[in-house]
Structure 1
């Protein structure tokens, strides 16, 4: 088990996706963001079934950064209740995990 996480965030458009990704990267809260267009979400909101075209932002981070990362996403996000879901990274390619630590400013002696 690592201290790394993948955070999934849906957004309404590319501009929002890029704004969130850039701000989190500059704050060193993530190592990487991947932005995928063309997502169709189907969900219940205020008693009605809704369908939305959205973008998916996949963020690579650390579990100890989640609360700060989540608060920053909420401040930047246009939705009242944004999807911000974290999944643990159980295992991974060690050089990649070490690179994540470097990008997020973790000293090499603390890297996994």
Structure 2
């Protein structure tokens, strides 16, 4: 029972701390905290992004111009806890995978 209380307290404290984070400076970290993303989900996200980034670079070298399939794959593999568009914009603002996120944003804004 004490563990449950501790989990609730930790969760509450994290929620308070997340309100102190400047959303403009750390929007991705804020998403992670607010949506209770686990360590495993976080790792899975970056494994997915590494794979997609490699595919993006490879396709770009081959002359591809449309990367919609990579965006669809990202959205389909992303944890249900996160909104794909919000995640992409937050990742871009924090400087993660800038070329890939830039492509994703172009696709999103075209629709």
**Normalising to structure 2: TM-score of the pair?**
0.29
Structure richer in strand, relative to its length: 1
Q: Which structure: larger Rg?
A: 2
Q: Could you tell me the TM-score, scaled by structure 1's length?
A: 0.29
